[in-house]
Structure 1
Amino acid sequence: MPPAGRVPHRGLALGILIGNQLLAGVGVASGIAVAALLAEELTGTAVLAGLSQTASVFGAGLVAVPLARLAVARGRHVALGVGYALAALGAVLVIVAAVTTIVPLVFVGLAAFGAGAAAGLQARFAATEVAHPGFEARSMSLVLWATTIGSVAGPNLSQFGDDLGRALGLPPLVGPFLLSGAAFAISTIVVATLLRMPRPGDLEADVPASGERAGIGTESGAPADAGSDIGGSPERAPGASAPSVGAWRALSVAIRSPRSRLALAAIVCSHTVMVAVMVMTPVHMHGHGLSLSLIGLVISIHILGMYGASPIVGWIVDRLGAIPVIGVGVLILLSATAIGALAPADDLLLVPLALGLLGLGWSAGMIGGSALLTTSVDRELRVPLQGASDAAMNYAAAIAAASSGLLLVAGGFATVNLVAALVLVPLVLAGVPVIARRRSAASR
């Protein structure tokens, strides 16, 4: 552990975060591509297939706040290592459950597996802590982008993993979790042995004082989107300044600030829409006779949309501000759900297009919302609020994933997309007062 107040070599720490995300991306994507299919195989119903993603996302939400607390107490690298280790354990539990046909154990394993996604998402905030001022969103987006290679490769390794599992005597669809478990185990070792970061509270000595904070999007020539609506000092959510503030207290304080509310809505709504549609896409395609390889290809395109353009999205946030990027994200997500609602399941042009746009809209909402969240509150609220926001988005997405199975059975894939589009309404409503305030200030 570096001494208090010392920031580790920024380039080295960021490089390790980026490299580790490659491994974690393989871990998450290898399992997630077949989780719903495995649950459907074991339970015999598409309704319960949605619960596979529910379990994983709920598990991610469950550990988000404890991981944030661990980051404050011991450092980000400790929190990330614990998250990846839990995910490796989850993959093992899924394999054991499938072999023994103990169905409830599958969902327990998938809940633990979700800790890998939670750790990967918290790595984006770790990137901002080692970023040079004015480059926070770009550093965050590079860590997210690093997930692209592993996440795109993961689903395309599904067939190989399945063949490997069958060769080892495992049931169908279980083999990909062998790859996931190995990837997360290696991620745990990398974080434990190579990555060292101070506790977020120790970074205070290395950043400007509260009134002089570096804001995302406030460099020369860019609007001060992370702070006040039209330049000036960054707006902070009112509240306590005690470093020991808890996650839910931070959330209740931040919710009073229009800008923080918009940031939270962008993170929660974008993630919920993405999960609601993505989790049922493999089940929808498989039900229409498409092969596992084609399903993996579509999921790879979706993940490429999520992470592939993230450096560009981060650059735009740093230059133009978070709010315009969030607005573009809403439009892209609406387009994705409209195409998804109209496209036939076997249309190998429109279905990949819809899933690719779904990922791109998620990227805009997640990076824009995370950047705005990080700089719209006081420093002592940031880490607990980050944990609370990740927990909230995963709980919401867990509900959406559980509902998607019911919607698919009741009204088809078009209904899944149409209901997902309605999730964007709170995000639009949260943006109205912020945009009105910006226009009012600009007209003075």
Structure 2
Amino acid sequence: MTARTVATTAEGTRMPRRGLGLAVLIVNQLLAGVGVATGMALAAILTTDLTGALAMGGLAQSSSVLGAAIVAVPLAKLAVRSGRHVALATGYALAFIGAVIVIVAAASAFAPLVFLGLAAFGAAAAASLQARFAATEVAVPGFEARSMSLVLWATTIGSVAGPLLSQTGDSVGQAIGLPPLVGPFVFSAVAFATSTVLVATLLRIPKAGHLAIDPTATPDVASEPGPVEPATSASADAATEAAAVDPAATPAAAAAPVDSEASVTTAPPARRVGSWQALRIAVREPRALVAILAIVCSQTVMICVMVMTPVHMSEHGLSLSLVGVVISIHILGMYGASPIMGWLSDRIGSIRVIGIGAAILVTATVIGILAPPDDVLLLPLALGLLGLGWSASLIGGSTLLTTTVDERIRVPLQGATDAAMNVAAACAAAISGVVLGVGGFAAVNVVAIFVLVPLAIAALRLRMIGRQATA
């Protein structure tokens, strides 16, 4: 099937062209970015005003992150059962409901309801994360990572435009009789409603397969290699890594051409695989484990350092405008270079890009340890590199996860990985505040380095197994 044809699923449902699907995801990601950034830019201030407690303002972000973690697995299950487009539409619909709840709670001055609304608001973040995997499913074979990176890059526009609309949204809200700081959530609700309709009507992706479980067998999650690459050193390494997953595989078998669009032929499934069961299956395979740890560890490192940077800068007398500049540089690093990371993943391999990302993350944290508190050059550099390392690790890890695991457990595993990533990020956000109070910003960065240790161990193990298989 090429980019010019229209696919038909096993159920007979016609799908739009690949190009249309990718365009829908890019536009939708832009809208979702506007929706999230517009509301969350003032969420902490709104909750502080409603509760009268500064500490409650910090719970606004935590509520949204936990909400994203809670819905990640149910959305993955829905994608398996009804299709990815249904799951994405449901996530954005939940975020729309969350925005409405926040508006009602603020208008009635009932603060507890705000946190419920922000938790539902977090469903947009979970859906946006799923959208990166959806991009690989509508991509032309061989361009999966680049398609994913384009979808992530669209978030840059939304994330930058969202806060700029906050003042306009507040003015519109007050003009229609809403309390101050509530108007931006009206803009968020409109953006999420548009995203819901757009995905539900224009995006069609086949439902994922199901895996028949044999309790006596060890599932092979790496039975579907990605697109065949030219005979380069990168592809040779990929063949070695594939042999590491299945030591019985021969180099000839590893190098044999594979039709990346061929469906997996299996017996009728006994039952569906749950997200956590898929995770247990995947962690037993070296390549899948590296992919999962790359996603979870990079997110944890990024959140651990990023959320404490504004506090660290404010404590040492730096202006709020400078804080805003540093965070903007960080966001630019996260999303601005994503097309480059996608291109590199397709050209040199996902594992190499994960290694590049981990090296950049270590560099960023070392700069954070050594930088003086009032340095206006090194702190922006550290945060920019932090975002860049996150981009490389997330895109490399997500691409490796998509191309390594069996199609029949892919979507449940993606949901479990995103849930684990968000839970780890929420814990990191909570713990980093304690670490900052005890040991300062340098201690926060030291802890962030140690978060990368499991990824380094898993990568070394994969490399050793690959060398043994080659020998």
Identity over aligned residues, as a percent? 65
Assess if the C-alpha contact under 8 Å between 1:83 and 1:118 holds in 2.
yes
Q: What is the CA distance between 1:297 and its match in structure 2? A: 3.9
Take 1:41 and 1:414, find their aligned partners in 2: how far apart are those partners?
A: 32
**Amino acid of the residue matched to residue 422 of structure 1?**
F
Name the counterpart of 1:229: 241
Name the counterpart of 1:190: 198
* Shift in alpha-carbon separation, 1:187–1:258, aligned structure 2, 3 A: same
Assess if the C-alpha contact under 8 Å between 2:296 and 2:417 holds in 1.
yes
Take 1:186 and 1:135, find their aligned partners in 2: how far apart are those partners?
A: 28
Take 2:449 and 2:77, find their aligned partners in 1: how far apart are those partners?
A: 33
Q: What is the CA distance between 1:250 and its match in structure 2? A: 0.5
Take 1:32 and 1:126, find their aligned partners in 2: how far apart are those partners?
A: 25
* Structure 2 unmatched runs, 5+: 1-5, 211-220, 243-250, 256-266
Name the counterpart of 1:13: 21
Name the counterpart of 2:90: 82
- If the length of structure 2 is used for normalisation, what is the TM-score? 0.82
**Amino acid of the residue matched to residue 30 of structure 1?**
T
- Based on CA coordinates, which of the two structures has the bigger radius of gyration? 2
Assess if the C-alpha contact under 8 Å between 1:219 and 1:319 holds in 2.
no
Take 1:45 and 1:410, find their aligned partners in 2: how far apart are those partners?
A: 23
Assess if the C-alpha contact under 8 Å between 1:145 and 1:311 holds in 2.
yes
Equivalent runs, 1:52-201 vs 2, <5 Å: 52-165=60-173, 173-201=181-209
Take 1:49 and 1:160, find their aligned partners in 2: how far apart are those partners?
A: 22
* Shift in alpha-carbon separation, 1:295–1:171, aligned structure 2, 3 A: farther
* Shift in alpha-carbon separation, 1:285–1:118, aligned structure 2, 3 A: same
**Amino acid of the residue matched to residue 309 of structure 1?**
A
Q: What is the CA distance between 1:58 and its match in structure 2? A: 1.2
Between 1:407-416 and 1:88-97, the stretch displaced more is 407-416
Take 2:375 and 2:176, find their aligned partners in 1: how far apart are those partners?
A: 35
User: Out of 401, 409, 412, which is 1:381 matched to?
Assistant: 409
* Shift in alpha-carbon separation, 1:410–1:24, aligned structure 2, 3 A: same
Assess if the C-alpha contact under 8 Å between 2:137 and 2:205 holds in 1.
no
Take 1:189 and 1:345, find their aligned partners in 2: how far apart are those partners?
A: 47
Secondary structure, aligned partner of 1:199: coil
Name the counterpart of 1:248: 276
**Amino acid of the residue matched to residue 241 of structure 2?**
D
> Do residues 4 (structure 1) and 6 (structure 2) align?
no
Q: Deviations over 1:247-299 (max 9, x none)?
A: 11111111111111111100111111112223334444556666665544433
> Do residues 394 (structure 1) and 422 (structure 2) align?
yes
Q: What is the CA distance between 1:68 and its match in structure 2? A: 0.9
Take 2:37 and 2:237, find their aligned partners in 1: how far apart are those partners?
A: 33
* Shift in alpha-carbon separation, 1:256–1:361, aligned structure 2, 3 A: same
Assess if the C-alpha contact under 8 Å between 1:254 and 1:260 holds in 2.
yes
**Amino acid of the residue matched to residue 376 of structure 1?**
T
Name the counterpart of 1:215: 226
Q: Deviations over 1:73-98 (max 9, x none)?
A: 21111111110111122223233334
Secondary structure, aligned partner of 2:191: helix
* Shift in alpha-carbon separation, 1:73–1:289, aligned structure 2, 3 A: same
Cα RMSD of the aligned pairs, angstroms, is: 3.2
Take 1:176 and 1:349, find their aligned partners in 2: how far apart are those partners?
A: 32
* Shift in alpha-carbon separation, 1:180–1:284, aligned structure 2, 3 A: farther
Name the counterpart of 2:451: 423
Take 2:417 and 2:441, find their aligned partners in 1: how far apart are those partners?
A: 28
Secondary structure, aligned partner of 2:235: coil
**Amino acid of the residue matched to residue 37 of structure 2?**
A
* Structure 1 unmatched runs, 5+: 203-209, 235-239
User: Out of 340, 356, 361, which is 2:368 matched to?
Assistant: 340
* Shift in alpha-carbon separation, 1:340–1:109, aligned structure 2, 3 A: farther
Between 1:420-429 and 1:94-103, the stretch displaced more is 94-103
Q: What is the CA distance between 1:305 and its match in structure 2? A: 1.2
Take 2:167 and 2:436, find their aligned partners in 1: how far apart are those partners?
A: 25
Assess if the C-alpha contact under 8 Å between 1:51 and 1:401 holds in 2.
no
- If the length of structure 1 is used for normalisation, what is the TM-score? 0.86
Take 2:169 and 2:463, find their aligned partners in 1: how far apart are those partners?
A: 48
Take 2:457 and 2:173, find their aligned partners in 1: how far apart are those partners?
A: 48
Assess if the C-alpha contact under 8 Å between 1:161 and 1:175 holds in 2.
yes
* Shift in alpha-carbon separation, 1:168–1:250, aligned structure 2, 3 A: same
Secondary structure, aligned partner of 2:209: helix
Q: What is the CA distance between 1:30 and its match in structure 2? A: 2.3
Take 1:211 and 1:287, find their aligned partners in 2: how far apart are those partners?
A: 49
Take 2:54 and 2:297, find their aligned partners in 1: how far apart are those partners?
A: 24
User: Out of 328, 336, 342, which is 2:356 matched to?
Assistant: 328
Assess if the C-alpha contact under 8 Å between 1:225 and 1:322 holds in 2.
no
Take 1:101 and 1:410, find their aligned partners in 2: how far apart are those partners?
A: 36
